[in-house]
Structure 1
Amino acid sequence: MANDTVTDEPPETAFTRRDALKLTGLGIGSVAALGVGVGGVRAITNGAFSAGSGDPYELWHDWASLSGVERVVAAGVLACNPHNTQPWRIRAAADTLDVHSDPSRRMPLNDASGREHFAGLGCAVENMVIAAGAAGLTTKVTLFPDGLASDHVARIVLREGGSGQDRDLAAAIPYRHTNRGPYKSTPVDLAGFTEQSSRIDGARVLWITDGAARERLGRLYVEATEAITADTAQSAEAFTWFRSSRGSIDQHRDGLTLDGQGLGGLTLFAAKLLPAQSRKDGDAYWVKATREVHTATAAAYGVIAVDDVTDRTAQVNGGRLLARMHLTATALGLGLHHMNQITERIDRDTAAGNPDVFSARWAALLSRPASTGLLSFRIGHPERTAGLSPRRSLDDVVTG
């Protein structure tokens, strides 16, 4: 799969998208004036006037009008997944859906153990189970029907006669988006998650709500983010999944975009008027946002825990539970933001033979071995509406 070119050096102009944060004090008229000439061309090229519309986003808008197996499969394609790599290939028959891993969508440096890749596949499986259940179908899920070494991750058999459960979660599918913006200081009532927390065998949710523990975890997130950005190879791999222009979004229909960074409307528009930022500028912004927004405004953190984070079945089941947590948050009007920097660094250091500087502190925060903390996220009452992520079409990922 082709990726965007990695640029280590700053653009020719010293004025980058990071400087867009300064534009919030200029006023709407001044920012609008930047849309003339070269800036206007950039605004169009970078999608300043087409955010959330067009082919890469049509599945979000069309899902509610779909029906039958097509609706169930589309729910899988709209599932949450780390880095928006969309790691799935789906074979659809009249009553059977086979979910396969797409190895070309692995991130071997940022996801050295494959936990995020297979958890993302689990998210797709569970979204399809939820959509099928709400449509009055029963589902039988078999994980790795051809063995753990196979790319055949799951088989979902559909039957008539379901009870119509999970309607609230299914209704949330087209509205579920990762919210990376600031959250309000209002505490979160976790009672609404109780019913879903035990729905997947072998996976559970650990909540971190105590103020002191949240501060310690926040500092660990910042340190892990700094470690990722200081690791040139790991940072460069992540940057290849950033879609900086509308043309790149239309071409790939995956990855992360400016629209998904949680910026305010004026700042986001201004950012799209400016030249594409370098990897180094992007990393600097990520560290700053992790310190000043993501960890500073998290009302609570959740950790998906399993018996062994290296077990493929546990990874898939952890993803299945994560999908339920994200849809539940959406149904409750909460923002959820996947934050896996700590576990990414643990896996990266292990694979590279580096000293393990995070596992002991991760374990202390979890009050259990680090080998049980699969994935993590923050939640809270969002100040801003999350942007839509691009999605590949059904034709791109589904075969008959």
Structure 2
Amino acid sequence: MATNTVTDEYPEISLTRRDGLKLAALGIGSVATLGVGVGGLRAVTNGAFSAGSGDPYDLWHDWSTMSGIERVVAAGVLACNPHNTQPWRMVVHGDTIDVHSDPSRRMPLNDASGREHFAGLGCAVENMVIAARAAGSASQVTLFPDGPLSDHVARIALKKDRTGQDRDLAAAIPHRHTNRGPYTSAPVDLSGFTEQSSRVHGASVLWITDEQARQRLGRLYVEATEAITADTAQSTEAFTWFRSSRDSIDKHRDGLTLDGQGLSGLTVFAAKLLPAQSRKDGDDYWVKATREVHTATAAAYGVITVDDVTDRTAQVNGGRLLTRMHLTATTLGLGLHHMNQITERIDRDTTAGHPDVFSARWAALLGRPASTGLLSFRIGHPERTPGLSPRRSLDAVITS
């Protein structure tokens, strides 16, 4: 996941209420008219005509034609990860890939315990394991070979093995994207998440499908989102990872963009004709979207659970399972949206010495201690196809 000072999520920035009213006041003809002159220049600057294309998106389009160790490493770069920080560095020696944490991509306020950072590294590890396995190579994974406090997170040793497992999951790698848009009211059949697709040692998934439990969890998500946006330091850190212009996307090739917010195509295009949003505007929209779209249309929630959310190995293994959940959802045609506001506030309050107002209710919903609920997400049948997220090049990720 360019070096940033402080950080994909979450405020998931999109149109503000005021901008929405502006767009509602525009007819289709008026939007077309804004496509020329100042509006047209802004549309070009903000990437209205180049969404999902160009260098920051090449890996999504090229991955299926790649081969060998390059294809495996590229799979890691395409893995889901928090706030699209892409927190990894890779070192390749023959058939061995060493995965390192990049501390400059930490979010000390939004991810105070580091659980999302190391889970994101676990996502990359599992994506590479799946890609290698599908291509006929077994993977021997050693976590923290230099000790649990090291930035050397994993060593992946590849060896030829003609089993060809996980081909369906590997085929989903270039099609897996976080879907933050609305989901339909159709229920989700969880039987597609088989034991094999959900198997990672030390981590499991807890499904929350009961309507009353979903409503309670939804209210807790909204409250946590409000708490994040009311915390100026936490909100500011998240906002630094939002890429509002095409120039910013091309420069950083990470973070959140308008294209990834689950808006309709016309709304995204029109939003790019408007001036860049302020942090407060983005926060206001995020709270509104969490209440009226994300929690209102979730068919089910999943929570990745481990024995201890502060354990680095457990964090990595939780990320490995999250990758399998997201790829499986992709093969089933389901949308998946990572939602970690509750645990982000738990960690923030704990680190800052604030009263802990979320752990007890989080534990009550899980039916187990809050210290076991690592990451969470919503799933459902999506109404829209999600946009692509920018990715750094292999040259920027692989170091010597």
Range into which the TM-score falls when normalised by the shorter chain: over 0.9
Aligned length: 391
Q: Report the CA distance between 1:93 and its aligned residue.
A: 1.9
Q: Report the CA distance between 1:197 and its aligned residue.
A: 5.3
Q: Report the CA distance between 1:30 and its aligned residue.
A: 1.8
Uncovered stretches (5+) of structure 2, i.e. residues with no partner: 8-14
State the secondary structure of the residue aligned to 2:118.
Answer: helix
Which residue number in structure 2 is paired with residue 240 of structure 1?
240
Contact 1:77-1:86 within 8 A present in 2 as well: yes
Structure 2 CA distance for aligned equivalents of residues 178 and 212 of structure 1: 25
Contact 1:24-1:266 within 8 A present in 2 as well: no
Contact 2:229-2:235 within 8 A present in 1 as well: yes
Q: Report the CA distance between 1:34 and its aligned residue.
A: 1.3
Deviates more, 1:310-319 or 1:196-205: 196-205
Which residue number in structure 2 is paired with residue 146 of structure 1?
146
Q: RMSD of the alignment, in Å?
A: 1.4
Contact 2:87-2:105 within 8 A present in 1 as well: yes
Structure 2 CA distance for aligned equivalents of residues 98 and 348 of structure 1: 30
State the secondary structure of the residue aligned to 1:396.
Answer: helix
- Do structure 1's residue 291 and structure 2's residue 288 form an aligned pair? no
- Do structure 1's residue 50 and structure 2's residue 50 form an aligned pair? yes
Which residue number in structure 2 is paired with residue 101 of structure 1?
101
Amino acid at match of 1:122: G
Q: Report the CA distance between 1:161 and its aligned residue.
A: 1.7
Which residue number in structure 2 is paired with residue 172 of structure 1?
172
Shift of the 96–165 alpha-carbon distance from structure 1 to 2, 3 Å rule, reads same
What is the correspondence of 1:83-162 to structure 2 with a 5 Å cutoff? 83-162=83-162
Which residue number in structure 1 is paired with residue 310 of structure 2?
310
Q: Report the CA distance between 1:5 and its aligned residue.
A: 10
Q: Report the CA distance between 1:259 and its aligned residue.
A: 0.3
Structure 2 CA distance for aligned equivalents of residues 356 and 315 of structure 1: 21
State the secondary structure of the residue aligned to 1:52.
Answer: coil
State the secondary structure of the residue aligned to 1:125.
Answer: helix
What is the correspondence of 1:126-275 to structure 2 with a 5 Å cutoff? 126-196=126-196, 198-275=198-275
Structure 2 CA distance for aligned equivalents of residues 318 and 363 of structure 1: 18
Structure 2 CA distance for aligned equivalents of residues 318 and 360 of structure 1: 22
Structure 2 CA distance for aligned equivalents of residues 211 and 293 of structure 1: 16
Q: Report the CA distance between 1:2 and its aligned residue.
A: 5.2
Structure 2 CA distance for aligned equivalents of residues 3 and 118 of structure 1: 18
Amino acid at match of 1:40: G
Contact 1:180-1:261 within 8 A present in 2 as well: yes
Q: Report the CA distance between 1:227 and its aligned residue.
A: 0.1
- Do structure 1's residue 360 and structure 2's residue 331 form an aligned pair? no
Structure 2 CA distance for aligned equivalents of residues 49 and 21 of structure 1: 21
Q: With structure 1 as the length reference, what TM-score do the two structures score?
A: 0.96
Structure 2 CA distance for aligned equivalents of residues 357 and 312 of structure 1: 25
Shift of the 196–341 alpha-carbon distance from structure 1 to 2, 3 Å rule, reads farther
Shift of the 252–105 alpha-carbon distance from structure 1 to 2, 3 Å rule, reads same
Structure 1 CA distance for aligned equivalents of residues 196 and 358 of structure 2: 29
State the secondary structure of the residue aligned to 1:241.
Answer: coil
Amino acid at match of 1:168: D
State the secondary structure of the residue aligned to 2:297.
Answer: coil
Structure 1 CA distance for aligned equivalents of residues 299 and 196 of structure 2: 19
Q: With structure 2 as the length reference, what TM-score do the two structures score?
A: 0.96
Task: State the Cα deviation string for residues 244-294 of structure 1 (Å, max 9, x = none).
Answer: 000000000000000000011111111000000000000000000000000
Structure 2 CA distance for aligned equivalents of residues 273 and 18 of structure 1: 16
Structure 2 CA distance for aligned equivalents of residues 196 and 247 of structure 1: 42
Which residue number in structure 2 is paired with residue 59 of structure 1?
59
- Do structure 1's residue 376 and structure 2's residue 363 form an aligned pair? no
Structure 2 CA distance for aligned equivalents of residues 42 and 354 of structure 1: 42
Q: Report the CA distance between 1:18 and its aligned residue.
A: 4.3
Structure 1 CA distance for aligned equivalents of residues 207 and 136 of structure 2: 32
Structure 2 CA distance for aligned equivalents of residues 329 and 198 of structure 1: 11
Q: Report the CA distance between 1:345 and its aligned residue.
A: 0.1
Which residue number in structure 2 is paired with residue 21 of structure 1?
20
State the secondary structure of the residue aligned to 1:138.
Answer: strand
Amino acid at match of 1:360: A
Contact 2:71-2:131 within 8 A present in 1 as well: yes
Contact 1:172-1:327 within 8 A present in 2 as well: yes
State the secondary structure of the residue aligned to 1:195.
Answer: coil
Amino acid at match of 1:93: H
Structure 2 CA distance for aligned equivalents of residues 53 and 399 of structure 1: 26
- Do structure 1's residue 326 and structure 2's residue 326 form an aligned pair? yes
Which residue number in structure 2 is paired with residue 278 of structure 1?
278
Contact 1:337-1:379 within 8 A present in 2 as well: yes
Contact 1:91-1:98 within 8 A present in 2 as well: yes
Structure 1 CA distance for aligned equivalents of residues 330 and 27 of structure 2: 32
Task: State the Cα deviation string for residues 371-395 of structure 1 (Å, max 9, x = none).
Answer: 0000000000000000000000000
Q: Report the CA distance between 1:21 and its aligned residue.
A: 2.4
Deviates more, 1:87-96 or 1:20-29: 20-29
Task: State the Cα deviation string for residues 110-160 of structure 1 (Å, max 9, x = none).
Answer: 000000000000000000000000001001000000001110000000001
State the secondary structure of the residue aligned to 1:194.
Answer: coil
State the secondary structure of the residue aligned to 2:76.
Answer: helix
Structure 1 CA distance for aligned equivalents of residues 355 and 379 of structure 2: 31
Which ranges of 4 or more aligned residues in structure 1 deviate by more than 4 Å? 1-6
Contact 1:300-1:379 within 8 A present in 2 as well: yes
Which residue number in structure 2 is paired with residue 13 of structure 1?
none
Q: Report the CA distance between 1:199 and its aligned residue.
A: 1.3
